[in-house]
Amino acid sequence: MAMVWASLLVSGVLCISSQYINVNEKDDCASHGEVKERIKGLLKQQERIQKSVDSLIQMVNRLDENMTRIHKDVQIVKKELILDVVDCQDLFIKGYQQSGQYTVYPCGIQSPVNVYCDMVTERGGWTVIQKRVSGDIHFDRTWAEYKNGFGHPNDSYWIGNDVIYQFTKGRNSSLYVSITLINGTRLYELYNQFSVADETNNYRLFLGGPATGTLGM
């Protein structure tokens, strides 16, 4: 049995009365049963949601693993491409045909070298080892400076004897010398064979093969 208090406000007067209400025990049991079924349903639904969440987490983990592998593969490809770029000729072959400053790797990925590439003269792909554009960079330098290089590729610079040695070591290299006079006249000389020895041999210059041009060197 349950006793319920009811209150009623009438014309500002609070009247309180009490009455007994009979509760059907069967209806009460039925109500509890429905609640239990709903709880079971909610638990099953929660279980299904948890399984879905677990599946999503597994998918995300697999995607992360795939992205990690892809990133590693990309880095490997980049390294292989970089290691393959020894000079401007390699860049030209790969499709870089705009003259300007580039980075090459004559000694491997740990030793990048900034150079100016001439992609126009004599079918392109020339690595400029010396350029004198303005008088801002003087060329009265020490042995060490000529060994390591100085200046800036976009202005005036010497690339460095060590780098020239690496460029020409074991490769069939050519040398193109170009001079523009004050009156605008351009003279040149092309040597089919060119190399430089290492420092122990004082960077000895070697020129061979037939030479052509207008400098008459």
The pLDDT of residue 11 is above 50: no
pTM: 0.61
The pLDDT of residue 213 is above 50: yes
C-alpha 157/C-alpha 129 separation (Å) is 8
- Mean of all residue pLDDT scores within the chain: 81
pLDDT band of residue 72 (cuts 50, 70, 90) is low
Q: Which residue has the higher pLDDT, 26 or 100?
A: 100
Domain spans in the chain, listed from the N-terminal domain onward:
2-81, 88-213
pLDDT tens by residue, 176-209: 999 999 898 999 999 999 999 999 999 999 998 8
SS (H, E, C) the chain: CEEEEEEEEECCEEEEEEEEECCCHHHHHHHHHHHHHHHHHHHHHHHHHHHHHHHHHHHHHHHHHHHHHHHHHHHHHHHHHHHCCCCHHHHHHCCCCCCEEEEECCCCCCCCEEEEEECCHHHCCEEECEECCCCCCCCCCCHHHHHHCEECCCCCEECCHHHHHHHHCCCCCCEEEEEECCCCCEEEEEEEEEEECCHHHCCCEEEEEEEEECCCC
Q: Quick one: fold of 88-213?
A: Gamma Fibrinogen; Chain A, domain 1 (3.90.215)
Average pLDDT over residues 80-88: 73
